[in-house]
Amino acid sequence: MAYSKCPKCDNTYFEVTENAPTKSNYKLLFVQCSKCGSVVGTMDFYNIGTLIGELEKKVDNISLSSSTSSINNNLNIVNQNIANLFNYVKSGFDRIEGANKNKKDTD
């Protein structure tokens, strides 16, 4: 099995350190030799996969809540229209009932 070695001092132990390079908008993680500090690689400070997963959940929640709101809105409109139709039909029956009552009174 091959072991990674520092290109400067041949050390085989490495560490990860946080760094914010000058004129950089982002922090980085440096993989460096634990003995001499030579940087042998960099990694993103934030785990991109985790960030994407968190954003996906937020987008799903936004879509779900706006869909729920839209459904509730539409249900309220349907309920109001049913109530209006019920009142319209009821008033028609009341008029017919009143007319029938008047007709019986005159007979």
Q: What is the pLDDT along the chain (107 residues), one digit of tens a residue?
A: 888 999 999 999 999 999 988 988 889 999 999 999 999 999 988 888 888 888 888 888 776 666 677 788 888 888 888 888 888 888 877 776 665 666 566 65
Tokens representing residue 83 in the block? 């109530």
Find residue 44's DSSP bridge partners: 28
- 3-state SS class at 102: helix
The runs of H, that is alpha helices, within the chain are 48-106
Give the separation between CA 58 and CA 43, rounded to whole angstroms.
Answer: 25
